[in-house]
Amino acid sequence: MRYVSTRGGIEPVTFSQAVMMGLATDGGLLLPERFPQVDDETLKRWAGLPFKELAVEVMLPFVGEDLSRDELTDLVERSYATFSHPEVTPVVEACDQHILELFHGPTAAFKDVALQFLGNLFELLLERSGGRLNIIGATSGDTGSAAIYGVRGQERIDIFILHPKGRVSPIQERQMTTVLDENVHNIAIKGTFDDGQRIVKTLFSDLAFKKDYRLGAVNSINWARILAQVVYYFYAWGRISGGDTEQKATFSVPTGNFGDIFAGYVALRMGLPVERLILATNRNDILSRFVNTGVYQAGEVYPTISPSMDIQISSNFERYLYFLMDEDPNRVCQLMEQMASEGKLEVPLEKQAEVQRLFVASAVDEDQTRQQIQETYQACGYILDPHTAVGVYAARKYPGSVCLATAHPAKFGAAVKEAIGVESEPPPSLQGLMEKESRCEELEADAAAVKAYIKSTLAR
C-alpha cells in the first residue's frame, strides 16, 4: 500500500514513511492510494472477532509490506493491553441508542485508542532505523495526556508538552504532570493555549532546529491515528448487526478536528454497511455549517463544556475534501488557496448534495447538552460526558444509532454534576491523581525560552 498527498505534490510513500512524515511535505495530508475492499463474507467473519483480532485484520492491508502480521499483532496486543475493559471498546445500550464506549484507555478519552497504538508504532519504526524522535506539542487538555501515555518510558522518544498554566482542568493537569518517566517533559507556560500553539509552530518552522533535533508531531493529521480509529466502526457494526450485511448502521460522532468521523468515512469506503454519519458539533460549528450550506468558513472560537471540540479549523477536513473533489489534487489546491486568501471555501451545489446524502449535521448548544445528560440519566441511569451528550442529542431523530462515547463522564465531572447533581464514579486511572507526586517546568510564553529548555534537557 502506498500513500499520496491530497495536494499531489509528493511521490507516493510507504506506510512507515507516511507515519514518520505526519504532514506531507507539500503541505497536504497523506492518504492511501486506494482503500482495501471488504466483501460480505469477510464482514460476516469479522463480526464475530474480538477487538484485538479485528484490529489486525482491518489494519493489515494498510501497512503493506512494512509490518508482518506477527509484528502488527504484537503492536496491537501491547497497545490495547492498557485498556481496562476486556472488550476494549464495548457497545452498551442506553435508552434507544447504542453507546460505543471509547474511554477505557489510560487517560479516559477516545484519543487513547489511536495514541497507544501510534506510540508503540513510532518505537518500532525507530528501533528499525536506529533513530530518535522528539515529540513537541501544545495541548488544551486531552491530546497532551493521551500522547504522553502513548510514549511514556520509550527509549527512543522524548516528549515535550506545553499546556497553559492554570487553564486546563485540575484533572487534566495532574494526568500529565504525574507521569514521572524520564522521557516525559511537561511545560506549563505563562500564557494561553494559543500562545502554546504559536510557540510550537515557531519551533517547527525553524528548519535547522527541526532537523538537528528530529522534531515529530502527534496531532490528528497522522495517518496512523485515523487508521487505528477505523477499527471500532467495524467492531460496533459487528456487535449490533451480528454480521447481517443487510443491516446498515448510523453513527453519531462528536466532532472537532474531523479525525474520528473521517475514520467512519474510511470504514464506509472499505465496504462497511453505513446508513449515515451524524456530524455533531458544539457551538463551534464550522463543520455543521459546511454540511448544511456547502460553505466552510471559520468563526470565532467559543469556550464550552465540551472543550475538546472547541475548534474552528479542522485539520482533517482536507482529507474528506479530496474524495469529495473526485481525488483531484488540483481542485483541492484551488479550494485550499481560496481558503487561505478569502478565509472561506465553497463547494458546488451537486457536491453539497453528495455531502448531504451521507452526512447530517447539527450544532448542539450547552443547554441542549446539559438537557441530554439529564434526560439520559433520568430515563435509563446512564451518565454521558458532555462531548458524548452532544452526539446523542444530534442523534435524537435517529433511534438505534451508534453514538460514539469519546470521554468518561468523570473526566468532565463538574459539567456532569451541574446537569444531574451527582458525579460519576471515576475509573481507576483517574483515582488518586491529586495525591500523586508530579513534575513540571514553568516557563514564560516565549519560543526562545522553550527552545533553550528543550536543548538543555536533551543535552543531559
Ligand X SMILES: *Cc1c(COP(=O)(O)O)cnc(C)c1O
Residues that bind ligand X (CB under 6 A): 109-111, 142, 220, 254-260, 308-309, 387, 406-407
Judged by beta carbon, residue 156 or residue 319, the one nearer ligand X is 319
C-alpha separations of 240 from 237, 273, 397, 405 in Å: 5, 12, 19, 16
Nearer to ligand X by Cβ, of 125 and 291: the residue is 291
Structure-block grid coordinates of residue 132: 530518535
DSSP codes of every residue in 135-180? EEEE-SSHHHHHHHHHHTT-TTEEEEEEEETT-S-HHHHHHHHT--
Is 111 an active-site residue? Answer: yes
Taking alpha carbons only, the member of 238, 68, 110, 275 closest to residue 59 is 68
Q: Of 3 and 258, which CB lies nearer to ligand X in the complex structure?
A: 258
Amino acid, res. 87: E
**Closer Cβ to ligand X, 123 or 142, answer by number:** 142
Identify the CA nearest to 32 among candidates 66, 4, 10.
4
Place of cell 525560552: 449
Closest CA to 272 of 248, 244, 242, 241: 248
Number of residues in the chain? 460
- Residue 260's closest CA among 248, 277, 273, 238? 277
SS3 state at 296: strand
Burial letters 215-241, b for 16+ CB under 10 A, else e: bbbbbbbbbbbbbbbbbbbbbbbbbbb
Q: Which is nearer to ligand X, 32 or 141 (CB)?
A: 141
Neighbouring C-alpha atoms within 13 Å toward the C-beta of 83 = 27
Q: Is the CB of residue 377 less than 8 Å from the CB of residue 383? A: yes
Which residue lies nearer to ligand X by CB, 333 or 355?
355
Give whichever of 35 and 412 is closer to ligand X, judged by the CB atom: 412
Residue 252 CA to residue 404 CA, distance in Å, equals 6
**Catalytic one of 111, 351, 417, 436:** 111
- Across the beta sheet with 402-405, the strand order is 91-94, 97-101, 402-405, 249-254, 274-281, 359-363
Counting Cβ atoms within 10 Å, is residue 131 exposed (0-12), middle (13-18) or buried (19+)?
exposed
Minimum CB distance to ligand X, residue 364 (Å)? 13
Between 107 and 186, CB nearer to ligand X: 107
Cα pseudo-dihedral 411, 417, 420, 425, rounded to 10: 50
Backbone angles phi and psi of 130, in degrees to 5 = 75, 15
Q: How far is the CB of 70 from ligand X (least distance, A)?
A: 30
CB of 142 to ligand X, least distance (A): 4
What 3-state DSSP class applies to 31?
strand
Q: What are the catalytic residues?
A: 111
